[in-house]
Chains A and B, each alone.
Chain A
Amino acid sequence: MQKTFFSRRRRQALIGGAYILPSFVLMFIFNVSPIFLSIFYSFTKYDMTAAPVWVGLDNYIKLSQNKYLGNVLTNTVQYVLITVPIQTILSLLIAAFIAGSLKNRYGSFLRSVIFIPVIASLIASAAVWDTMYKPDGGLINQFINLFGAPSVNFLGKKPTALPSVAAVSIWKSTGYYMVIYYAGIMNVSTEVQEAAIVDGASPIQRFWYITLPILKPITYMIVTLGIIGSFQVFDLVYKMTGGGPGRATLTVAYMIYSYAFQDKRMGYACALAVGLLVVILLIHLIQTLFFKERDAK
């Protein structure tokens, strides 16, 4: 009897394992192994043509002496600090508005419209926004000129270049996060909401004391995804500014690309990539602690 029980469990485990094996193998090959390979290459000199040569900590020492690294890290952190809060709050507000006040075909239409940027090609979007930002004749400046204000060179001035690129990212990703929030809000029990109404809670109180706490796991996920995505920003910078003017929009991912593919210095680029990984993990750790602490309270 005991034997049959174990063999059934084992059989079920084997069947279960067989189901996840293809995904596991693919994820291991394309997601996990590159991380370990990058860590290995970061200790080597590797140009993609000859076998990697072990150089110990040389790449990391050289990286620590890179005079533009601080500048680039600051840009990247600024970019994260602009994009993540805005896209998170904006997507939450839009989702709450549609779920609360537009539960009809107009709401569906608005949801679709806000989602369109998500499916648009990033490079094509960057090209369109590049044109819209132009100081002479760009759509945004034409609008600004209507009020008698002078044109703004959005991508050509240090104070505006990075926020302008970040704005495109926010426009691009808000729809995606909005859909996730919307699904979360729709899952909030109507009984709880109704009970709150009976108790005399205002819509803002219901949102603040019921909806938001219930959406906390979703917010945690959205913030995490947002931070990771923003730290890896490359395409927008590549297409819109090339890191300029000067180094105003140069980001870590763009630097990694330059070292790896322009200079064929994979080892050095991997050292920078590993550095980025460590930074993201640290931020993730702090974020997890923050959310846990809030949970405990």
Chain B
Amino acid sequence: MKRILATLLACVLLLSCMSFAAAEDKKTLTVWIPQYQFSKAEDAISDQDFWDGVFDPFEVENNCEVKVEIVGWGIYGDTFFTSLVNEDGPDLVYVTDNYDLVKRDLLLGLDPYLTQEQKDNVILWNTAPENANGEKVIVPMDDGVAIGYVNKALLKEAGLDELPVEWDAFIEACKTIQEKTGKRAFLQNWGATSGTSALMLAFWPYYFQAGGKMLNDQGEIDINNEAGLKTVEFLKSLLDAGIFTEDIVTESESVDKFAAGEVAYIVADLNKGNSAFTPAGIDWEYVFSLKGPAGYGARTATDSFAVNKKTVARGNDELAVKALMYITSGAVMDEFHSKIFYLPPFTKDASFVKDEALYALTSAHSEDVYVVEEFSAKKSFEDTLLANIQEMFQGNLEPQEVLTETMDYYNTQLKEN
């Protein structure tokens, strides 16, 4: 009996060792992706299940194991930066702010790994930042423009056929809407607790509409110019006209209020119409953007996918780049955009378009879309600008002081020298 037991135990041990050995043959990739599934529908697939499913065939084909970790948005930028600095960071990572990563050479140069055909397939490839060797380090994805939404019922109630988009006319129309309907004409999230969140919808679009450029000839941020002043004055004129009130500095629910029919116009991401406003029974339509002194202007962001440079030392670099090109392929992204979160196609082999009207509108205005660029200490710059604009809304600063104080503080305290 003892012999049988001993033999069985030995077999179990042997099998365990064999399976360990087999596992060791497999390479392991760690992938970090932020949460994108915000739907509360019961049949909505979770991010984890989606990506695990996506990587199943990849694992079989490449005899590897892919560990996908879904990371919350809260402090995603800080989280992935510190992880990439450390030795055990992910191999493949979704990147939001890339300035520090590129400057500190934490990302793998992709050019040597990709064919020209693969590069040509990425629509925004030319906008990707480069490392010191001139190699592109990310695959940029179009994060989608911030788009305007109009409540048609409120517009009609105010006796307007359509919303005028020129700044001055827009202010007059807002006054009419508030007077005739008793509802708010326009809301923005000036109470967001992060400058980046507030400004991407509530400042940068107007700055672009005023003809502003973010970076000067030296490649440094500079908004203390004519366009900057026009932008801040426009924001102040919204306050002076009673469209914004002092309470705007705590406003962070413009989307919810639009969905509740309490607001006539907001700017939000391009998913909100179909995912939030239609289900709420709002009769709405898109407006590409307001039109400032220099014309239309909407901002877009270019979040991206990148490979950790430390994969070279791990011997994972080729596999990681392969995984990168796999998840950014048209087939996978079409699935992602249809099942998880809609964004415009960012590779030429992708074809899924959720909303033809939106696609037609953004295509017609493709020249009016501007990227919010990366620069040193961007988050703190945006926090400073947000704080100073809030000070203006509270009556403590004039428009020119907002710009001067922001740039002075940035140049003396925030900018890396």
Contacts and interface: CB of A to CB of B under 8 A. Distances in A.
Given A49-B106, A65-B412, A158-B394, A243 B78 contact: no
B396 A246 contact: yes
B249 A239 contact: no
B246 interface: yes
12 contacts: A48-B85, A65-B413, A153-B247, A157-B394, A240-B193, A241-B193, A242-B192, A243-B383, A245-B394, A246-B249, A263-B414, A264-B100
B379 interface: yes
A261 interface: yes
Contact of B193 (A65, A156, A242): A242
B45 to A, nearest CB: 27
A155 B251 CA distance: 10
Interface string A93-104: 000000000000
Interface in A194-244: 238-244
Contacts of A156: 191, 246-247, 249-250
Interface string B381-417: 0010011101101101000000000001100111010
Interface of B: 75, 78, 81-82, 85, 100, 104, 106, 191-195, 246-247, 249-250, 376-377, 379-380, 383, 386-388, 390-391, 393-394, 396, 408-409, 412-414, 416
Interface residues of A, number: 34
B193 A239 contact: yes
Residue in A47, A153, A156 whose Cβ sees the most chain B Cβ within 10 Å: A156
B85 A244 contact: no
A66 interface: yes
B194 A242 contact: yes
Contacts of B412: 62, 65
B157 to A, nearest CB: 21
Nearest to A259: B380
Contact of A244 (B78, B191, B396): B191
Nearest to A246: B391
Residue in B106, B195, B247 whose Cβ sees the most chain A Cβ within 10 Å: B247
B160 to A, nearest CB: 25
Interface in A55-83: 62, 65-68
A238 B396 contact: no
Interface string A108-136: 00000000000000000000000000110
Contact of B390 (A62, A153, A239, A244): A244
Given A245-B394, A246-B391, A258-B380, A66 B250 contact: no
A241 B394 CA distance: 15
